[in-house]
Amino acid sequence: MSKKTKVLWTLVSAVTGGGFFLGEKCFQLIVRKRPQEEAGTIRKNTPKGRRTDVRLLSIDQLRLHAIYLEPEEKEVPHRYCILLHDTKSRAEDLFPYATHYLAQGRRVLIPDFKGHGESDGTFYGYGYDDRYDVLTLVHWILKRDPDAKIVLHGLGTGAAAALFALPEHMPGAVYAVISDSSYVTLTEYLSRILRYVYPSKLPLKLRLFALRLVTRIRAGYDIGKADVRAALECATTPVLFLHGDADTQLHADCAKRLYAAAHCTRQLSIILGAGHLKSIEVNGAHYWSQIDAFMKKHDPDRP
């Protein structure tokens, strides 16, 4: 091997190694599960109703934990809601949402996504890698109640998971999706996180490229392909897009862009004065009135 070739290979190795090191650092900060982020999580009281802790198996053979809630009072036959939490959250955080659905007589299923709560997993899927687990939840309900009518209600990346699942052979039993504060593309979303958790003089595009490479190797999914608009182009299930206009984590423009991209029946509602996932705190009455009206309008058994 000539001296020139050796120098060239040395440079290539240095660049490749440096790029992988950079990507690994970004991956450890953003995608890999960090147990300390759940340290001190307060156990929340279960809403009034019957609780069952469910164990399921994901498509990639990881054990998933979910909380199944049944109304304490009279149930509405065959009506269900699957609640999907945001990244670095967990099933119990959605109990305030579950309370509303239980009061309507609906049964509620709330999973811990992989890498969260009591579920297995060492990395976060940010909704995109969780889309098949949404199907697993739907089929778990249908196996027990073939006549089930299901609403998906996702928050943050949980909303993205619901939307990503729609074109993945979603059963017709899912008749409506409530998308609260979904991102548009995972690349855009992680760009904002990178600026916050890993400020650097290195170009953002370089850090994103390195993160994409290592995530593909370590976690098995490609963040560059996670575009919710592409999923909505194939979706036929009605979708209600909700977003707070004071959201500084994800601008309300995200909901408007998703609404414009969707080819299915859809509705857009911007909650004034609400920050990220704060709509039920700022104006819960309006928030739930929009959701209840949307579900009633698209209920397959409506008069």
Per-residue model confidence (pLDDT) at position 14: 31
Q: Are residues 172 and 285 in the same domain?
A: yes
Q: Which residues contact 55 (CB under 8 A, 6 or more apart)?
A: 63, 64, 65, 66
Segments of the chain with pLDDT less than 50: 3-18, 39-40
Q: Are residues 9 and 116 in the same domain?
A: no
Q: Are residues 7 and 64 in the same domain?
A: no
Domain stops at, among 174, 206, 225: 225
Q: Are residues 86 and 138 in the same domain?
A: yes
Total of domains in the chain:
2
Identify whether 88 is part of a domain: yes
Identify whether 41 is part of a domain: no
Q: Are residues 130 and 52 in the same domain?
A: yes
Q: Are residues 209 and 274 in the same domain?
A: no
Per-residue model confidence (pLDDT) at position 38: 54
Note down the domain range covering 242.
Answer: 47-185+226-298
Structure tokens at 128: 């995109």
Closest C-alpha to 176, from 300, 301, 295 = 295
Q: Are residues 115 and 218 in the same domain?
A: no
- Find tokens 């509620």 and name the residue: 108
Give the CATH number of the domain where residue 166 resides: 3.40.50.1820
Identify whether 235 is part of a domain: yes
Identify whether 35 is part of a domain: no
Per-residue model confidence (pLDDT) at position 202: 86
Torsion angle of alpha carbons 109, 112, 117, 118, nearest 10°? 80
Identify whether 38 is part of a domain: no
Identify whether 42 is part of a domain: no
Q: Are residues 12 and 72 in the same domain?
A: no
Q: Are residues 191 and 178 in the same domain?
A: no
Give, for 196, the enclosing helix (H) or strand (E): helix 186-197
Q: Are residues 111 and 20 in the same domain?
A: no
Per-residue model confidence (pLDDT) at position 286: 96
Identify whether 196 is part of a domain: yes
Identify whether 99 is part of a domain: yes
Q: Residue 174 and residue 232: Cα distance in Å, rounded?
A: 15
